[in-house]
Amino acid sequence: MSIIKNFILVVLLASSATLCAQEVLSLDKVLQEISSNHPNLKAFNSQVKSQEARVEGARAWMAPMVGAGTFMTPYPGSRVMNEADRGSWMLSAEQDIPNPAKAKAKAEYLAAQSAITRASQAVQANELRARAKELYYDLLVAIKKIAFQKENHTIMGTMKKLAEIRYPFNQGSLGQVFKAEGRLYESENMILMTESEIRSKKIALNALMYRPVNSDFSVDTSARPGFNPIAVLDRAYLAEKRSDIRQMDRSIRSVELNINQIRQDAKPDLRLRLEHMSPRSNMMPNQYTIMGMVSIPIAPWSAKMYRSEIKSMNFEREAMLLQKEGMLSEALGMTKSMEAELITMQTQLRNYESKILPALSKNLKASMLSYQENKADISTVIEGWEAVNMAQMSYTEQLKKFYQMIVDYEKNIER
């Protein structure tokens, strides 16, 4: 007998050591790991570096053009009347000099692209943060649910044993034993389903943290997410906090910089050309040509191109401003609606915790006491047990919806 006790003690100590070694992850720790390790967020950093590298070359000049050939050389077989008519050897060099205002406008426009990418990164981070919160809160609810289920399984196991003991003494029927046994197996199935749900949520959370999917951990069960509404929630608050609105602002700014860049097309560019001629005749001196050229973009046949482009971009900017207003209006209405629903759900959950579940638990205990005193049969106990089960499952489902709406609310306000 002592050997069996020692074996049980060893098993319990080993399991407790395993539990102690299991990592406990708080929600903040989970969010921190996602922010540091998720590949999608890292990819944005590389994109930003790529766009910033382009800005460095925005003020660069075009490569110079050099050439060599002949100048005013007669075709072979032509009769040359004078040595001066033999032509010259020519070297040439040409350089386009861009307008500084154009280079500056291009650099500003390219710099705005990295700002858009950073805003996109914030949008992606908000999505991943909301997904992680949802999984974490689902685990909290599932752990609470499985605690209810295991407690109910223990109660029904006890009632089945009592029914089996009473049956030989004609204090209960065989049908009551089988009924209790059926409910016992149903509760086992519910526990298996919840355990599977917990494993599934942990795998998904590991994937978000970029960990091996089978890494085990436990969540901080002392965490109790609550609803904390924003004191002053208006369009200005959302415009400042929401990353998708900031992304829209960056896009509008990019369009404005692009318009400015196109406007610079009305300014002239400069081109310099140098040519050196060495005559084939010794009687002629060396000659050179220096020429400066200026583009005339205000010519009517060339001005149409950038003027129509500016007109088009102004319409695009106006459309984006209207889209931004629509996004703000929709987000504000949705968030205010969530606040009203969350307040109602919070009251419902308090009713479950302080009134409904305690009352049904007392009813179950009273039924079990009556059964023990032979004042009621097991069917009455099972009815009370089922009522507790249903109320607990309704409570956990309501709690899950409450947490999900908190996630959506915090996602909307970027908390």
pLDDT score of 408 more than 70: yes
pLDDT score of 83 more than 80: no
- Please state the rounded mean pLDDT for residues 305-327: 90
pLDDT score of 349 more than 60: yes
Domain ranges of the chain: 30-72+85-413
Residue 171's pLDDT band, with cuts at 50, 70 and 90, is low
pLDDT score of 169 more than 80: no
How far apart CA 258 and CA 20 sit, in angstroms, is 59
With CA atoms as reference, report the closest residue to 278 among 67, 66, 65, 70.
70
pLDDT score of 409 more than 80: yes
- Please state the rounded mean pLDDT for residues 49-56: 86
Supply the DSSP string of 21-38, one letter for each residue.
HSPEE-HHHHHHHHHHH-
Distances (CA, A) of 231 to 89, 236, 335, 336, 344: 83, 13, 13, 12, 18
pLDDT score of 331 more than 50: yes
- Please state the rounded mean pLDDT for residues 374-403: 90
Distances (CA, A) of 373 to 171, 172, 370, 379, 382: 11, 13, 5, 15, 16
- Please state the rounded mean pLDDT for residues 33-61: 88
How far apart CA 52 and CA 112 sit, in angstroms, is 9
Beta carbons within 8 Å of 201's beta carbon, 6+ residues apart = 135, 138, 139, 142
The pLDDT value recorded for residue 392 is 93
Residue 138's pLDDT band, with cuts at 50, 70 and 90, is very high
The pLDDT value recorded for residue 157 is 86
Tokens for 43?
Answer: 């990819």
The pLDDT value recorded for residue 351 is 95
How far apart CA 28 and CA 142 sit, in angstroms, is 20
- Please state the rounded mean pLDDT for residues 127-133: 94
Q: What are the tens digits of pLDDT across the range 211-253? A: 998 888 899 888 888 888 887 888 888 988 898 999 999 999 9
The pLDDT value recorded for residue 224 is 87
pLDDT score of 189 more than 90: yes
- Please state the rounded mean pLDDT for residues 149-174: 77
Count of Cβ atoms closer than 10 Å to residue 27 Cβ: 17
The per-residue b/e assignment along 120-148, b for 16 or more CB within 10 angstroms, e otherwise, is: bbbbbbbebbbbbbbbbbbbbbbebbbeb
Residue 342's pLDDT band, with cuts at 50, 70 and 90, is very high
- Residue found under tokens 């200005």: 236
Class of 30-72+85-413 per CATH?
mainly alpha
Q: Which amino acid is at 401?
A: K
How far apart CA 76 and CA 86 sit, in angstroms, is 11
Q: What percent of the chain has pLDDT over 90?
A: 43
Q: What are the tens digits of pLDDT across the range 282-294? A: 777 888 889 988 8
The pLDDT value recorded for residue 380 is 85
Q: Which long-range contacts (CB under 8 A, 24 or more apart) does 197-205 make?
A: 197/138, 197/142, 198/139, 198/142, 198/143, 198/146, 201/135, 201/138, 201/139, 201/142, 202/139, 204/135, 205/30, 205/132, 205/135, 205/136, 205/139
User: Would you say 160 and 180 are in contact if contact means Cβ atoms under 8 Å apart?
Assistant: yes
pLDDT score of 5 more than 90: no
Tokens for 266?
Answer: 């009305």
3-state secondary structure of 270: strand
The pLDDT value recorded for residue 401 is 95
Helices (H), 73-215: 100-166, 174-208
Of 165 and 51, the one with more pLDDT: 51
Q: What is the pTM of this model?
A: 0.81
The pLDDT value recorded for residue 16 is 45
